[in-house]
Amino acid sequence: MNKPIIAPSILASDFANLQREVEMLNESEADWIHIDIMDGIFVPNISFGIPVTEAIAAHAKKPLDVHLMIEKPENYVEAFYKAGAASISVHYEACPHLHRNLQQIKDLGCRAGVAINPHTNVQLLEDVIHDIDIVCLMSVNPGFGGQKFIENTYNKVRQLKEIIVDAGASTMIEIDGGVNQSNAGHLIEAGADILVAGSFVFKSSEPKDTIADLKNV
Ligand code: DX5
Ligand code: ZN
């Protein structure tokens, strides 16, 4: 089994000690740092924005994986690129001109991602699969950390993997929400490449060990 890319979500970290949390991730086996941006419109919660992302980037030694849970992401993509994003994911459900959004992200030199909500069928991405570097399958309804993993995600990973293989594309599959030690192995077996984990990492007593456990699951 290939080792997954581990992307701890900073959303579950201690915001009053962000520098310390980022330094912990620097020293850990984490590959990327997942940054959850919520606007209170696309999702029923507000997280943080561009200045906080810049502050994280100033200390991070790992690439920032920015997940935009916002309406009109095209208005903010460049600002997040300038703030330090290495990859930027927009939501399918927020993008009537998805192909244009993806080109905008690629033109900046970032990896382009599309996140889809639990109810959104993976087949809707078939015609743009070659334009997508990362599909982020939401395994919870976006908006909050600490929710229960939705089991149907396994089917979606398998279906999406088939679409990617059939198309001969190199798109990576990222899983976001409720990831833990008991579902990580099954997700990788099903075809996942990247695991995002928030609460499971930051609420554990030894986050660095928890990250290593996920990496070597
Ligand atoms: C949910 C976010 C997730 C979340 C994951 O809206 O996109 O990245 O922070 O947190 P856990 O791992 O706690 O479900
Ligand atoms: Zn996320």
ipTM: 0.98
Backbone angles phi, psi at 163, to 5 degrees: -60, -45
* SS3 sequence of 52-64: HHHHHHHHCCCCE
Place of tokens 């994911």: 89
pTM above 0.95, yes or no: yes
User: In ligand 1, which atom is closest to the CA atom of 43?
Assistant: 6
User: In ligand 1, which atom is closest to the CA atom of 199?
Assistant: 13
Ligand nearest to the CA of 139: 1
| Cα of 38 from ligand 2 centre, angstroms | 9
Tell me: pLDDT of 196 over 90: yes
**For the residues 173-178, what does the mean pLDDT come to?**
99
Q: What is the pLDDT of residue 64?
A: 99
Contact 181, 214 (CB under 8 A): yes
pLDDT confidence of 8, banded at 50, 70, 90?
very high
Q: What is the pLDDT of residue 172?
A: 98
Contact 122, 116 (CB under 8 A): yes
Tell me: pLDDT of 2 over 90: no
| Cα of 137 from ligand 1 centre, angstroms | 11
Tell me: pLDDT of 169 over 90: yes
In this predicted model, what pLDDT tens digit does every residue of 184-194 receive, in sequence order?
Answer: 999 999 999 99
Q: Is 185 annotated as a binding residue?
A: no
What single string gives the DSSP state of each residue in the chain? -PPPEEEEBGGGS-GGGHHHHHHHHHHSS---EEEEEEBSSSSS-B---HHHHHHHHHH-SS-EEEEEESSSGGGTHHHHHHHTEEEEEEEGGG-TTHHHHHHHHHHTTPEEEEEE-TTS-GGGGGGGGGG-SEEEEESS-TT-SSPPPPTTHHHHHHHHHHHHHHHT---EEEEESS--HHHHHHHHHHT--EEEESHHHHTSS-HHHHHHHHHT-
Average pLDDT, the chain: 98
In the sheet with 111-116, reading across from the earlier edge strand, the strands are: 5-8, 194-197, 172-176, 134-138, 111-116, 85-91, 64-69, 33-38
Q: Is 177 annotated as a binding residue?
A: yes
Q: Is 99 annotated as a binding residue?
A: no
Would you kindly state where each structural domain of the chain is located, as residue ranges? 5-215
pLDDT confidence of 123, banded at 50, 70, 90?
very high
In this predicted model, what pLDDT tens digit does every residue of 46-96 receive, in sequence order?
Answer: 999 999 999 999 999 999 999 999 999 999 999 999 999 999 999 999 999
Pocket test for ligand 1, best of 144, 149, 181, 211 (most atoms within 8 A of CB): 144
Selected catalytic residue, list 31, 39, 176, 193: 176
Q: Which CATH class is domain 5-215?
A: alpha beta
Contact 141, 147 (CB under 8 A): yes
pLDDT confidence of 142, banded at 50, 70, 90?
very high
Selected catalytic residue, list 36, 39, 65, 131: 36
User: What percentage of the chain reaches a pLDDT higher than 70?
Assistant: 100
pLDDT confidence of 1, banded at 50, 70, 90?
confident
Q: Is there a catalytic annotation at residue 176? A: yes
Around ligand 1, the residues with Cβ closer than 6 Å are 9, 11-12, 34, 36, 67, 140, 142-147, 176-179, 196-200
**For the residues 148-163, what does the mean pLDDT come to?**
98
